[in-house]
Chains A and B, each alone.
Chain A
């Protein structure tokens, strides 16, 4: 074992063969991709063959920890779930924070790779010795809520921490998530990857202390970071949480409404964060090992358990579906969490279906019959549909369980032009026409439309660019934002710290030196951010990505925003194409956007020598 931060190995669990082996991780690999999403992307590439089925036994699910997990650094209790997405066919990762991350790392590994398929529905129990595959007939196919399944597992295996899928994961809903202790790796359908392997849950336990190369320096940095994490840079998250975005975005006409037909919502006032805070807030919480405490819980009805709410849930299950009833939005968000489906993709897919219903695009028969009362603002219908999707119950629920892109392709006609996705991933709550550097970030994202792997909206909200126009300058911002996010997600630390860190790469290098004892420098980490993005792009290329995927749905080019502060805004197709070209050039890609052969060759040894 090295001096700190890493255990220098990962655990490879083969469900079909019921074997587990520790595989060494060398220093070059650790320095090249650091950990978290970087390590996850690398191991996913190494552990799979080209063009594999994400729901087949040959698929791999990687759980990657970062070098800072298990240290005293605030917000470091995180892990990355990484796999090929059954929703997009491209790489996807979901970050999650809980004591699961710490327990997993303390099993003495930097990552866990799960391949194969269990012979019967099972759970996987992992500890310092290895892994055990245990059948779980009492948990599978019972339609438990995630909280109930987690509680049962906790009682039976009190020493383990669990990551669990819901009924949606069992039914292979393409945007099913993986839950652990109330947190969710939601995007991209990684819960379906686990469900396809017939694994209901992964339990981890461990007692190995994470080694610190320089404990004194680590503690000093941790204290300083914790102090700053309680300052003005994070006040928004503490006092209101991410739901504070809703009123601002509505005022700036950047709030996606009615399946991106508008960017202001006339009922926004009922559900804005400031009002929820005054009328319904009933408590706050935080992830394990976090000093910020951004979680806010709101009352649904008196006497009922309060529900956690984030901006993305609020926008997707509210304005995007034309719904302004706070109780309904809270119930819908809670339902998604308990069923195990991604809130953004759920809201996006249902909003798409609502527009299809209003336009009469469902073919005559069961689908049209089921969609007869589906309209924007149809509260109870939306709530019922969430259950139908998660259980693939009814023809419409089964169709929408495929996500908006596949559903649109099945419907045909005009439907694909307004399915709200990039690379199959439903678009988060940032209206592309009102935030055009973010629009570029969405278009080129390796995970698809993605506000977490690209923070390009920061440029739109900086005053440094014209938010109504994507430009070559936008490309520089998009690359920089992507690189910062990649390193943040490789460490892994919470992005809500970003404004508390004035010199991100420098401070990150200092943390890594203290924890690992390796001579990380700021410039090296900046290069690592770009390298991680290239690893993801190479994976996508290997799996069939083409340059045509780096774009947005036709709606954003063809329809202007109808009202509010962004009235008349649209995306110029030629100008946007130029900004994508500029992004590709700045990223070091070739004219078409592919990773050049010489760079791919350089990275071949890192990726296990497999050819594209």
Chain B
């Protein structure tokens, strides 16, 4: 299982801070997230991809939007807005 943590607008829209999904890649995880939290479609995730302006930090570190990125058991996908200004 992979944990997806939600922050900011994504957390508000989904009404939850985290969700666990079965996935071997980021694309699979995002697709599962969209199914579990329809309120995130299509402005945050869309068909297994991230919408513009959204990124993930794998285990809080490596930042990417690549749906091919492989995930393993216990990985944590941190979903964040790329718009960090303020």
Task: Please report A residues at the B interface, Cβ cutoff 8 Å.
Answer: 232-233, 235-237, 239-245, 247-249, 251-253, 273-274, 277, 310-312, 430, 451, 455, 457-458, 460-463, 467-468, 495-496, 498-499, 564-566
B7: which of A251, A277, A312, A467 is its contact (CB, 8 Å)?
A251
Number of A-B contacts (CB under 8 A): 96
Let me know if B82 is at the binding interface, CB within 8 A.
yes
Q: Give A271 Cβ to nearest chain B Cβ, in Å.
A: 14
Q: Which chain A residues lie closer than 8 Å to B59 at the CB level?
A: 565
Determine if A461 and B5 form an interchain contact, defined as CB atoms under 8 angstroms apart. no
Determine if A245 and B60 form an interchain contact, defined as CB atoms under 8 angstroms apart. no
User: Please, how many angstroms separate the alpha-carbon atoms of A329 and B9 in the complex?
Assistant: 23
Determine if A462 and B60 form an interchain contact, defined as CB atoms under 8 angstroms apart. no
Q: Give B49 Cβ to nearest chain A Cβ, in Å.
A: 14
Determine if A458 and B53 form an interchain contact, defined as CB atoms under 8 angstroms apart. no
Q: Give A427 Cβ to nearest chain B Cβ, in Å.
A: 15
Determine if A463 and B9 form an interchain contact, defined as CB atoms under 8 angstroms apart. no
What is the interface of chain A mostly: helix, strand, loop, or mixed? Answer: helix
Determine if A467 and B63 form an interchain contact, defined as CB atoms under 8 angstroms apart. yes
Q: Which chain B residues lie closer than 8 Å to A312 at the CB level?
A: 86
Q: Which chain B residues lie closer than 8 Å to A430 at the CB level?
A: 84
Determine if A244 and B65 form an interchain contact, defined as CB atoms under 8 angstroms apart. no
A458: which of B8, B57, B80, B82 is its contact (CB, 8 Å)?
B82
Q: Which chain A residues lie closer than 8 Å to B81 at the CB level?
A: 236, 244, 248
Determine if A244 and B85 form an interchain contact, defined as CB atoms under 8 angstroms apart. no
Chosen A-B contacts, 15 in total, with CB atoms closer than 8 Å, are A233-B53, A236-B8, A240-B9, A244-B7, A244-B81, A245-B84, A248-B8, A251-B57, A273-B8, A274-B8, A277-B12, A312-B86, A495-B85, A498-B85, A499-B52
A242: which of B55, B63, B65, B86 is its contact (CB, 8 Å)?
B86
Q: Give B55 Cβ to nearest chain A Cβ, in Å.
A: 6
Determine if B51 and A310 form an interchain contact, defined as CB atoms under 8 angstroms apart. no
User: Please, how many angstroms separate the alpha-carbon atoms of A274 and B52 in the complex?
Assistant: 22
User: Please, how many angstroms separate the alpha-carbon atoms of A241 and B63 in the complex?
Assistant: 22
B85: which of A243, A273, A457 is its contact (CB, 8 Å)?
A457
Determine if A251 and B5 form an interchain contact, defined as CB atoms under 8 angstroms apart. yes
Interface size on B, residues (CB 8 A): 28
Q: Which chain A residues lie closer than 8 Å to B63 at the CB level?
A: 460-463, 467
Determine if A252 and B83 form an interchain contact, defined as CB atoms under 8 angstroms apart. no
Determine if B12 and A240 form an interchain contact, defined as CB atoms under 8 angstroms apart. yes
Q: Which chain B residues lie closer than 8 Å to A239 at the CB level?
A: 9, 12
Which residues 1-58 of B have a CB within 8 angstroms of A? 5, 7-9, 11-12, 43, 51-53, 55, 57
Determine if B55 and A252 form an interchain contact, defined as CB atoms under 8 angstroms apart. no
Q: Which chain B residues lie closer than 8 Å to A252 at the CB level?
A: 57, 60-61, 78, 80
User: Please, how many angstroms separate the alpha-carbon atoms of A499 and B54 in the complex?
Assistant: 12
Determine if B51 and A451 form an interchain contact, defined as CB atoms under 8 angstroms apart. no
Residue of A nearest to B81 (CB): A236
Q: Which chain A residues lie closer than 8 Å to B52 at the CB level?
A: 232, 499
Q: Give A525 Cβ to nearest chain B Cβ, in Å.
A: 20
Determine if A232 and B12 form an interchain contact, defined as CB atoms under 8 angstroms apart. no
User: Please, how many angstroms separate the alpha-carbon atoms of A243 and B84 in the complex?
Assistant: 10
Determine if A235 and B9 form an interchain contact, defined as CB atoms under 8 angstroms apart. yes
User: Please, how many angstroms separate the alpha-carbon atoms of A277 and B8 in the complex?
Assistant: 10
Q: Give A287 Cβ to nearest chain B Cβ, in Å.
A: 14
Q: Give A274 Cβ to nearest chain B Cβ, in Å.
A: 5
Q: Which chain A residues lie closer than 8 Å to B60 at the CB level?
A: 251-253, 564-566
Q: Which chain B residues lie closer than 8 Å to A245 at the CB level?
A: 84, 86
User: Please, how many angstroms separate the alpha-carbon atoms of A328 and B36 in the complex?
Assistant: 38
Q: Which chain A residues lie closer than 8 Å to B57 at the CB level?
A: 251-252, 565
Determine if B12 and A463 form an interchain contact, defined as CB atoms under 8 angstroms apart. no
Evaluate whether A240 and B61 lie within 8 angstroms (CB atoms) in the complex, with A232-B53, A248-B80, A248-B81 already known: no
Residue of B nearest to A234 (CB): B83
Determine if B82 and A462 form an interchain contact, defined as CB atoms under 8 angstroms apart. yes
User: Please, how many angstroms separate the alpha-carbon atoms of A461 and B55 in the complex?
Assistant: 8
User: Please, how many angstroms separate the alpha-carbon atoms of A224 and B20 in the complex?
Assistant: 40
User: Please, how many angstroms separate the alpha-carbon atoms of A237 and B86 in the complex?
Assistant: 9
User: Please, how many angstroms separate the alpha-carbon atoms of A498 and B84 in the complex?
Assistant: 12
Determine if A244 and B55 form an interchain contact, defined as CB atoms under 8 angstroms apart. no
Residue of A nearest to B17 (CB): A274
User: Please, how many angstroms separate the alpha-carbon atoms of A566 and B59 in the complex?
Assistant: 10
A232: which of B51, B80, B86 is its contact (CB, 8 Å)?
B51
Of listed A232, A248, A457, A496, residue having the most chain B CB within 10 A: A248
User: Please, how many angstroms separate the alpha-carbon atoms of A611 and B24 in the complex?
Assistant: 64
Determine if B12 and A274 form an interchain contact, defined as CB atoms under 8 angstroms apart. yes
Q: Give A354 Cβ to nearest chain B Cβ, in Å.
A: 24
Q: Which chain A residues lie closer than 8 Å to B5 at the CB level?
A: 251
Q: Which chain B residues lie closer than 8 Å to A253 at the CB level?
A: 60
A461: which of B8, B11, B12, B82 is its contact (CB, 8 Å)?
B82
Of listed A235, A277, A430, A462, residue having the most chain B CB within 10 A: A235
User: Please, how many angstroms separate the alpha-carbon atoms of A458 and B55 in the complex?
Assistant: 12
Which residues 61-86 of B have a CB within 8 angstroms of A? 61-66, 78, 80-86
Residue of A nearest to B55 (CB): A463
Q: Give B4 Cβ to nearest chain A Cβ, in Å.
A: 12
Determine if A455 and B85 form an interchain contact, defined as CB atoms under 8 angstroms apart. yes
User: Please, how many angstroms separate the alpha-carbon atoms of A312 and B84 in the complex?
Assistant: 12
Q: Which chain A residues lie closer than 8 Å to B66 at the CB level?
A: 463
Q: Which chain A residues lie closer than 8 Å to B83 at the CB level?
A: 233, 236, 499
Q: Which chain B residues lie closer than 8 Å to A273 at the CB level?
A: 8
Determine if A457 and B84 form an interchain contact, defined as CB atoms under 8 angstroms apart. yes
Q: Which chain A residues lie closer than 8 Å to B61 at the CB level?
A: 252, 468, 565-566
Q: Give A131 Cβ to nearest chain B Cβ, in Å.
A: 35
Residue of B nearest to A466 (CB): B62
Q: Which chain B residues lie closer than 8 Å to A235 at the CB level?
A: 9, 43
Determine if A247 and B86 form an interchain contact, defined as CB atoms under 8 angstroms apart. no
Determine if B7 and A236 form an interchain contact, defined as CB atoms under 8 angstroms apart. no
User: Please, how many angstroms separate the alpha-carbon atoms of A467 and B60 in the complex?
Assistant: 12
Q: Give A7 Cβ to nearest chain B Cβ, in Å.
A: 31
Evaluate whether A248 and B7 lie within 8 angstroms (CB atoms) in the complex, with A457-B84, A463-B64, A463-B65 already known: yes
Q: Give B75 Cβ to nearest chain A Cβ, in Å.
A: 13
User: Please, how many angstroms separate the alpha-carbon atoms of A496 and B64 in the complex?
Assistant: 22
Q: Which chain B residues lie closer than 8 Å to A467 at the CB level?
A: 63
Q: Give A98 Cβ to nearest chain B Cβ, in Å.
A: 19
